[in-house]
Amino acid sequence: MIMMKLILIIFALLLVGCGSTPYRDDYAKHVNLMKNSYFNESNFKFSFVENPHVDLRGQYSRNDTANASPILYQGGAGLAGLLVQIGTHSTMVSAQRNEKLAIAQEQANQPILPLINITKDIALVDLIGEHKSQWTSLETIDAKIVRIKPIFFSNKDMTELSIKAIVWLPKQHKNSRKKQKFNYKNMIHIYGEKLNKLQQQKLIAGDEEFLTLQLAALLKTAISIAKDDLTGRYAKNKTRTKTFFIDNGSGKKVIRGAVVAEKCGYKVIQDLHSWFIALPLLKTKTSIETDAVYQC
């Protein structure tokens, strides 16, 4: 019995690692250790890291479930041999899952290649308008500067643009014994208003000026939300968790969360991940009483 429990524990430990979700860069686990050290309006500074240019990708399904791969483990090699076989099987399944995601992303990029080609040389700093005074170049970056990594998305029909911005603040004391590398980390996801036929035609025709305006509006709203959270504006939100919907073309996408603000034509919801999801006010199907912050 004890032996059986031991085997179960070893297997479980082995498989916890093996069965984890493949790494995705458009994802952030929420961390907020700011406590009383929130920024004020004047000392909020940010910088774009990793890629100073627009990163535009096609929207794709995140289902990475691999097909079942029945396998007959050989018992002749003993327990150690069995573990090696399970490890190999696990690596195979993991590789299948990663490959499925990579193929899905590649396929999703194909229909929007003209947009990707237009945007790949656009500098992010040229999109931030009034926020330029808060922007700092990479050369002068320090631990007190907020890092932002924006990733833009378009659906294959080029009618819906969105942005996911990963926002983080590294820990100032690198010699900290704790594993946590961040003082703050979160994701802001903004769904743009659905484009009408005329606007869609502009994108298909490669209207760079129009596309730049759309991307700029999304990025500026993301920076504004990041600033609001990092200055403590959303820290005391107490609205009730509800289900919100967004029509994503193939049905209603569910968002569970609480409204923290309504600003710039968006309803800002803090979801179960603590991410900020901004939905165009016209798109939000559920409306609730809120003590949200109304401003732009």
Partner 1 sequence: MKNLHFKQLIIAGLVLVLAACGSTPQPTVALNTNALTNKALKIGIVYNEPDDKATTHIFGAGCLLCYGVASTLTNKLDTHLENTIDTSELISLKELVLSEYSQRSNSVEFVTLTTPIKKLKKFKGELGFAKKDFRVLKETLAVDVIVVFDVYRYGAFRSFSNYIPNGDPQGHIAGLLYAIDLNTNAYIQYLAIDEKIQPSGEWDEAPAFPSVTTSYYQAVENAKQKIKDAI
Q: Which is nearer to partner 1, 47 or 155 (CB)?
A: 155
Residue 140 · residue 40 · CB < 8 Å: no
* Rounded distance between C-alpha atoms, residue 56 and residue 119, angstroms: 7
Got the DSSP string for 177-203?
Answer: SSS--EEEEEEEEEEPPPP-HHHHHHH
Q: Cα 157–161–167 angle (5° rounding)?
A: 145
Q: Which is nearer to partner 1, 91 or 295 (CB)?
A: 91
Extract the tokens encoding 144.
């007190």
Q: Which of 29, 24, 35 is nearest to 64 (CA)?
A: 24
Nearest approach, Cβ of 159 to partner 1 (angstroms)? Answer: 20
81 binds partner 1 (CB under 8 A): no
Nearest approach, Cβ of 214 to partner 1 (angstroms)? Answer: 23
78 binds partner 1 (CB under 8 A): no
By CB under 8 A, how many residues form the interface with partner 1?
A: 44
Nearest approach, Cβ of 271 to partner 1 (angstroms)? Answer: 7
Q: Which is nearer to partner 1, 2 or 296 (CB)?
A: 2
Which of 7, 84, 123, 138 binds partner 1 (CB under 8 A)? It is 7
Which of 120, 132, 181, 252 binds partner 1 (CB under 8 A)? It is 252
Nearest approach, Cβ of 165 to partner 1 (angstroms)? Answer: 15
229 binds partner 1 (CB under 8 A): no
Which of 36, 63, 74, 133 binds partner 1 (CB under 8 A)? It is 63
Q: Which is nearer to partner 1, 72 or 282 (CB)?
A: 72
Residue 161 · residue 154 · CB < 8 Å: yes
- Amino acid occupying residue 282: L
Residue 189 · residue 278 · CB < 8 Å: yes
* Rounded distance between C-alpha atoms, residue 68 and residue 105, angstroms: 22
* Rounded distance between C-alpha atoms, residue 158 and residue 258, angstroms: 29
Where along the sequence are the contacts to partner 1 (CB under 8 A)?
Answer: 7-9, 11-12, 15-16, 18-21, 24, 26-27, 29, 61-71, 73, 86, 89-90, 93, 97, 243, 245, 251-256, 271-274
